[in-house]
Amino acid sequence: MAFELPALPYDHDALAPFLSADTLRTHHGKHHQAYINKLNAAIEGTPYAGKSIEEVIRLALANGETAVFDNAAQTFNHTFLWHSMAPKGDSAPSAELASAIDDAFGSLDGFLKAFKQAATTQFGSGWAWLVQDDSGLAIVKTGNADTPVAHGQRPLLTLDVWEHAYYLDYKNDRGAYVDVFLDGYVNWAFANDNFAAEQAAA
């Protein structure tokens, strides 16, 4: 069965003023859709067809099939992104995730500083991630279409730092985009659920 564009978990204008409705319509409806279209075209009638997106990513990486990997990874990354953001509210890390953040980064402020550093220093296009690995929580950055899923890490949150993610609203000021995200549009409920699932599976 072909992959399909998932609906956004909120209205197009729900993240304003962090992100405008125009940005979300373009990013979701055009960029994300294009990755899905290219992925479906690349895997139709191949052994990848019918596999989960995570399976496609890992197999394509192992097989050195760059076009399949890039479009599968971007399909996954963008779906994960929409859930990593939420309308501004009072969400916060759960007690369990907060404790793990303290262990890894010293404090929530330490996490925010480290995440911003990763997001703003990723050269060119890419992503910043909060992940769980065998040693605990970590912040990683991936270039272009790369994804922690390909490297045995379990993502909890992400932010897209490709220019198409923010240019309509912030021009070339990536730092401002990251600041506003961290100041209230992080979907901590999503991160909490991902962290709890990882703990349950451990």
Q: What is the pLDDT of residues 147-169, one digit of tens each?
A: 999 999 999 999 999 999 999 99
Q: Is the C-alpha dihedral spanning 101, 159, 190, 75 positive or negative?
A: negative
Q: Which CATH superfamily is domain 21-84 in?
A: Fe,Mn superoxide dismutase (SOD) domain (1.10.287.990)
Chain segment 64-104, per-residue pLDDT in tens: 999 999 999 999 999 999 999 999 988 899 999 999 999 99
Structure tokens that stand for 177 in this block: 């985009």
Query: Which residue intervals of the chain bear CATH 3.55.40.20?
Result: 95-201
Query: Which residue intervals of the chain bear CATH 1.10.287.990?
Result: 21-84
Whether the per-residue pLDDT at 176 is higher than 70: the answer is yes
User: Do residues 130 and 97 lie in contact, with contact meaning Cβ atoms separated by under 8 Å?
Assistant: no
Whether the per-residue pLDDT at 202 is higher than 70: the answer is no
pLDDT at position 21, please? 98
Arithmetic mean of pLDDT over the chain: 96
Closest C-alpha to 127, from 103, 145, 100: 145
| CATH fold of the domain at 95-201 | minor pseudopilin epsh fold (3.55.40)
pLDDT at position 135, please? 87
